[in-house]
Structure 1
Amino acid sequence: MMRLRVGAWWLLALLLLPVLVPQALRTRRRALRLAPAAGPQQGVAGAEFAGPALRVVLLGESTVAGVGVACQTQGLAARLAQALAEQQRRPVAWQACGENGITASQACTRLLPQALAAPADLLLLVFGVNDSTQLSSLRSWRQALTCMTQALQVQGAQVAFTAVPPLQHFSALPWLLRRVLGLRGTLLDRQLRAVARQLGASYCPVELEFAADYLAEDGYHPSRLGYQVWASGLAAQLLSQQLLSQQQSAASAD
């Protein structure tokens, strides 16, 4: 079934190539390019709470680098740490290992060593947009996700994936281009979910309304409000899955 879907996507892309290529080139020329967020790439949220800190590391593309906001304290990593600290009433030490424009395969050599050097209880992988736009093969996508997950699990970290963002809602892209890339992202997301199931990692859908207020001025990355809403949803999902995992472990022990 997956081969049929992939074949259908390539057939569609080839048929629309005379339209998609000019759109892609024009979009690249006109795109507003925002810099990564300024400030330290790590910090502590909920320092007012007692107890040992939960260590959270985010590994990923431009959203982990904080593109779309002015400073990292407004970005996904810091916002997620704050939401987790408030929900669990404990300190959360966070670190962002992100690079603008990076694919999952590139991250295996350029970012994974940083993540492995930072002891973590929870490690969140945030990829998919660049692999969609750069047409990464499904095989290389699976291999990269598997490589990173297994390396991180060996160190005892709980690994979670965010879903591939829905490119069909990125207002910076022309309608036809974003629909075709959105379909490509859906194919990658199916593979991501399969890898998560196989390796025992968590999978978190992107629960974010892609309205103007939630997008930065480039129409491509989240705004300050967008990161805050995305992080709150992620924290709730991670907490729910953590409790579910604990309940399953308790039931197995009984």
Structure 2
Amino acid sequence: MSPLALALAPVLLVQGAGVRRRTPVLPEAAGPRSGVVPGGAPPLTVAVLGESPAAGVGVATQEDALAARFAAALAGRGGREVRWRLSARTGTTAAQALVRLVPGLAGPPADVVLVVLGVNDTLRLRGRAAWRRDVRALLDALAPLTAAGGVVVLAGLPDVARFPTLPQPLRGVLGRQARALDGELERLVRPGVRHAPAPPMDGPGLFADDGFHPSAAACRAWATALADTALPMST
């Protein structure tokens, strides 16, 4: 925890409790957590792992959620059939993902593995070194599930400082925390591991009713940005 967060701890605790009381609890998106986007051969296999945005909290169905939108964006770039599967659960941290989520990705090796984590670690003020160790351990666990020549895309953390439901100074402290953890993701980039910065979320209609999770429009924009990193148009 940063010195600023320590100094503000009493205020942050009160504000955090208030946010939890007044923020509606939205369900994960309904619908299948796997699918096929038609296209040409050879097919592209995609696995998505993550916390509530990956689970589709904020939209009604998986069709409008991040995983399906990501698969559609990839199909639009390469013209290939995309077979996707999702393992996601609200409230999951990077450390918890090893047990909670990785087993749910069992299946054919994936050409693209998308990891959407970090907001829950931000809310828990997870230290940078611990977060880095957690993500490294997760990358090791994902290696057997990644096809030869495949890529793991680490979704960048959204700008938590812009989440409407968060008051100041809580918003500012969590915003700085999210930027710090996102910086650690950038440091983990290596051959086969890419970092995809989150697009800005400051336009109208980009938040769900809770003022915290991405709307369907935000999922579309985010999926496009992720696909730009996973499968650049030049390839």
Letter in 2 for 1:67: V
What's the TM-score once normalised by structure 1's chain length?
A: 0.86
What CA distance in whole angstroms lies between the structure 2 residues aligned with 1:242 and 1:65?
30
Q: Which has the higher strand share?
A: 2
Q: Name the counterpart of 1:160.
A: 153
**1:56–1:176 CA distance, 2 compared to 1 (3 A):** same
The number of residue pairs the alignment matches comes to 232
Residues 205-244 of structure 1: pairs in structure 2 closer than 5 A: 205-240=197-232, 243=235
> How far did 1:105 drift?
0.2
- Of 13, 17, 33, which residue of structure 2 is paired with 1:25? 17
1:141: which partner in 2?
A: 131
Among candidates 185, 188, 194, match of residue 181 of structure 2: 188
Of Structure 1 and Structure 2, the greater helix share is in 1
User: Structure 1: which 5+ residue stretches go unaligned?
Assistant: 1-8, 244-254
Indicate which of 91, 94, 100 corresponds to 1:104.
Answer: 94
Does residue 124 (structure 1) correspond to residue 114 (structure 2)? The answer is: yes
The equivalent of 2:30 in structure 1 is: 38
What's the offset of the Cα at 1:237?
A: 2.5
Provide structure 2 residue ranges, at least 5 long, that are not aligned to the other structure: none
Q: Percent identity?
A: 40
The whole-number CA distance in structure 2 between the counterparts of 1:194 and 1:242 is 24
Question: 2:110 aligns to what SS in structure 1?
Answer: coil
- Distance change (3 Å), C-alpha of 1:28 and 1:118: farther
- C-alpha distance in structure 2 between counterparts of 1:97 and 1:25, whole Å: 29
Would the alpha carbon gap of residues 240 and 214 (structure 1) be closer, same or farther in structure 2, given more than 3 Å must change?
Answer: same
RCO greater where, 1 or 2, for CA within 8 Å and sep 6 or more? 2
Residue 60 of structure 2 is matched in structure 1 by 70
**1:115 aligned to which of 105, 112, 120:** 105
Larger Rg computed on CA atoms: 1
CA RMSD of aligned residues (A): 1.7
2:127 counterpart letter in structure 1: S
Q: Pick closer, same or farther for the CA change 1:237–1:87 going to 2, 3 Å.
A: same
* CA distance 1:242–1:179, change in 2 (3 Å): farther
SS in 1 for 2:45: strand
Given that 1:208 and 1:226 are in contact with CA atoms closer than 8 Å, whether structure 2 keeps it comes out as no
For 2:46, what is the secondary structure of its paired residue?
Answer: strand
1:27: how far off? 0.7
TM normalised by structure 2 equals 0.92
1-side partners of 2:15 and 2:45: how far apart? Answer: 43
> Could you tell me how far apart the structure 2 residues matched to 1:101 and 1:161 are?
18
Partner of 1:214, secondary structure, is: coil
Instruction: Give 2:80's match in structure 1, choosing from 90, 99, 105.
Output: 90
